[in-house]
Structure 1
Amino acid sequence: MTAVDSRIDRRWDQLHTWGPYGLLGVGVVLAVASADPHAAPVKWYSAWSLVGAALALQLCWHGTRVRRPGRGRAPSRSGTVYYAVRWALAFVLTWLNPFFAFYAAAGYMDADETLPPRWQRIGLLASAVTVAGAQAGGLPLAGAVQWLLFIPLLVANSGLQMVVAHLDEQERRRARERTETITELERTNVALQQALDENAALHAQLLVQAREAGVADERRRLAAEIHDTIAQGLAGIIAQLQVVINTPDPGTATDHAGRALALARHSLGEARRSVHNLAPVALEHDGLPEALTKTVAEWGEHTGVRAEFTLTGTAEHLHGEVAATLLRIVQEALSNAARHARASRVGVTLSYLGDEVILDIRDDGTGFDPLAVPVRSRAGGFGLDGMRARAERIAGSLTVESEPGLGTALSARVPLVRHDS
């Protein structure tokens, strides 16, 4: 319940509590002002006695009434007795003086809070009889004129109160429905917030698992690169030096020594590249768009292939694991293009699309048949399977489109997870 509803409810309660006192006071003042000073003392004594009884009744009810929080007083047996006694006192007082009909009108105010639903219309009709009798000229009714006035007045008073009571009941029902709807919405909001919290926790757990899997992935990649490059280079150096040792020809020895030196330099370069790729150093001081711009440019300079990077959408600061995954996919795709594609042009596009990020790598190389590529084990290489595994670990996906002679297009789609998530 809002503060405004509580304030309105409190004012209605004050009106129902003190209204009968005020109406009784108005009736007393007007009755005294209009009374005949020559009236029989018995009539005066009777009127004052009934006024005292009415006041005592109000004080007693005021001290014993039961309230329902936010809904007013609850109909009860004691409320029914109170309403009936008050009506009887008001009826007799109105018989003595028509101005006491003001006190009888108190029955219009609280019939719904004192009488059970099946008795409310009867209570309103009884109050209307008293008020209509006073309006018709006072009780008892005498003559046809008063009766002709009394009947339409009774119909008007009772009909008006019945309509008001019906509208009030409808408003109460709508208020109850609104309260139930608000309560249901609050429960739904709590459940939704819990679901969002659980989803955030699951997403955080997924990123942790992706980070741990990425560490193992990097170890396997480094081991594979050492085996494929540095170890083979060292084996070649040993073979060349073995020839130098065993040959008596100085020219042949010099030639093989030069080859050994070239292999050593190449192996040193491969070792430095492997160490550099062990962690995404490019992301230490730059965002993903800047890191991709430098990576693509350096690759193009190193290979002599025309390489372009394009950014679409509004760049956002991505979570470190997402940025590192996309950077690794680009590095692996460029490495594959340099080794196999024999392309003359490579394009990399990073697109921010609301709730996801799309990375596209295209080349105009020789292409291949994706269905004919043998499935390599995760531990044995880091080609398409490795890139696909990286994307899937952060709830993303990787698609490959290629045909022999028509180039290759890779597309990675991953959720847009911001740095502060």
Structure 2
Amino acid sequence: MSATDTQLDRRWEQLHVWGPWALLGIGVVLATGAAELIEGPAEWQAAGVLVAAAIGLQLWWHVTRSRRAGRGRIPSRAGTVYYGVRWALAFGLTWINPFFAFYAAAGYMDADELIPGLWRRLGLFASAVTVAAAQAGGMPFDGVQWAAFGVLLAVNFGLQAVVAHLSEQGEQRSHERAETIDALQQALDENAALHAQLLVQAREAGVADERRRLAAEIHDTIAQGLTGIIAQLQVVANTPDERAAREHVARAMDLARHSLGEARRSVHNLAPVALEHDGLPQALQNTVADWGERTGIRAEFTLTGAAAPLHDEVSATLLRIAQEALSNASRHARAARLGVTLTFLGDEVILDIRDDGVGFDPLALPPRTRAGGFGLDGMRARAERIAGSLTVETEPGHGTALSARVPLVRHDQ
């Protein structure tokens, strides 16, 4: 609540507390000035008793109101009793002298605070009766005064009913606004909690994704290099030809150096060593040539379209997919020929890897491979990470064709 609203509420509270006192005082002063309207000593005595009773009533209500200060301006049984007794005293005083109708007019300003629900209209009507009677010339009435009283009563009560209706609508809107603010605050609190929860989940998902990426990098680099070294050393152990053994040992040493470079690169930024000095086409060509020489399988690399410098992440992803596909082919395909094609096509880059090996049934793969290992699903996850896709066409006895399609994102973008 703003300072202006607080000040306005304080002034309205003061009006409700001191307004009846002021109106009673005005009535007493004016009635005394128009003493000729009071006919005899009996009426003077009655007026004195009623004024004293009104003062006593105001004192009682002042104390009662102070005790109820913490409850706000809410209608109550005590307030209804106070309003009714005050009206009766004001009606009696106005009968004696019409100027006491000022005291009766106090009912117009605090009926909403004192009387609950529909009874509020009855309270306003009672106050309007007293005020209209004074405006018509005072009670009792003659024939002409009755007509004036009827018109004045209708005008007084009509105006007060309209004002009361507008005030109730304003209170309802204020209540609805307060409920809306509370609901919005609750929604903001819930959104803040949800935002914090989403941040935690995003952080956990990022950690899990980074772990999967690191695992894939290790599998595609160090693990594959160690597998190649083991294969070369197994040949050395099984061959009596010293010259051939030295050749396989040299290959094992080259693979060890390459794997060491990949390990160091993985520690720094996970970019493949093959891309350190060459673009993707040259890196793929070197990788295919080295793989063919190591495995003895006829392997060819083909570049189609106008090559463009690719973003590091795109180049690394396609190279890792090619390395994994070549590793799978050397272990499982038993192929005589293998071809790798890199195609720059519009806003896409396509990597195709084909072999004439034994093929396989995708549905017959081991559960680990189908459900997130480092084979086909690992390659597919790499492609999808950069908004690409991976498709595989194969069947037993008819080789395998693998195609990775990713967006062409240039190095300077």
TM-score if structure 1 supplies the norm length? 0.69
Percent same amino acid among aligned pairs? 38
Q: What does 1:16-415 align with in structure 2 at a 5 Å threshold?
A: 16-36=16-36, 40=40, 43-65=43-65, 67=68, 72-76=73-77, 78-141=78-141, 143-214=142-213, 216-218=215-217, 220-221=219-220, 224-236=223-235, 242-244=240-242, 256=244, 259=247, 262-264=250-252, 266-279=254-267, 281=269, 297-303=278-284, 307-309=307-309, 329-335=317-323, 341-345=339-343, 361-363=349-351, 375=365, 377-378=368-369, 382-389=374-381, 399-401=389-391, 408-411=403-406
Q: 1:134 to 1:112 in 2, by over 3 A?
A: same
Does the C-alpha gap of structure 1 residues 70 and 182 become closer, same or farther in structure 2, counting only changes over 3 Å? farther
> CA 1:113–1:183 in structure 2 vs 1: closer, same or farther (change >3 Å)?
same
User: Partner letter of residue 76 of structure 2?
Assistant: P
Stretches of structure 2 lacking an aligned partner (at least 5 in a row): 286-302, 328-337, 395-399, 408-413
- Paired letter, 1:23: L
Q: Which digits, 9 at most, give the CA deviation of each residue in 1:110-135, with x for residues without a partner?
A: 22322233432222111111100111
Task: Specify the SS of the correspondent of 2:76.
Answer: coil
Equivalent position SS for 2:241: helix
Question: For residue 185 of structure 1, what is the amino acid of its counterpart?
Answer: L
SS of the residue corresponding to residue 267 of structure 2 reads coil
Q: Is the 8 A contact 2:37 2:97 kept in 1?
A: no
| Amino acid paired to 1:333 | I
Q: Please report how far the alpha carbon of residue 61 of structure 1 lies from its aligned counterpart in structure 2 after TM superposition.
A: 0.3
What does residue 316 of structure 1 align with?
none
The one-letter code matched in structure 1 to 2:169 is Q
Q: Secondary structure at the match of 1:12?
A: helix
- Residues 67 and 74 in structure 1, CA contact (< 8 A), matched pair in contact too: no
- Deviation digits for residues 256-313 of structure 1 (CA, Å, limit 9, x no counterpart): 5873575255324422343135435258xxxxxxx99x769543343456753557xx
- Normalising by structure 2, report the TM-score: 0.70
Q: What is the count of residue pairs matched by the alignment?
A: 367
Instruction: Tell me which amino acid in the other structure corresponds to 2:27.
Output: G
Unaligned runs of 5+ in 1: 245-252, 284-290, 312-322, 350-359, 413-421
Over residues 49-104 of structure 1, what are the superposed CA-to-partner deviations in whole Å (9 max), with x where a residue is unaligned? 4333322211210110264868513321x222211221122122222332221110
Letter in 1 for 2:255: S
How much is the aligned-residue C-alpha RMSD, in angstroms?
A: 4.5
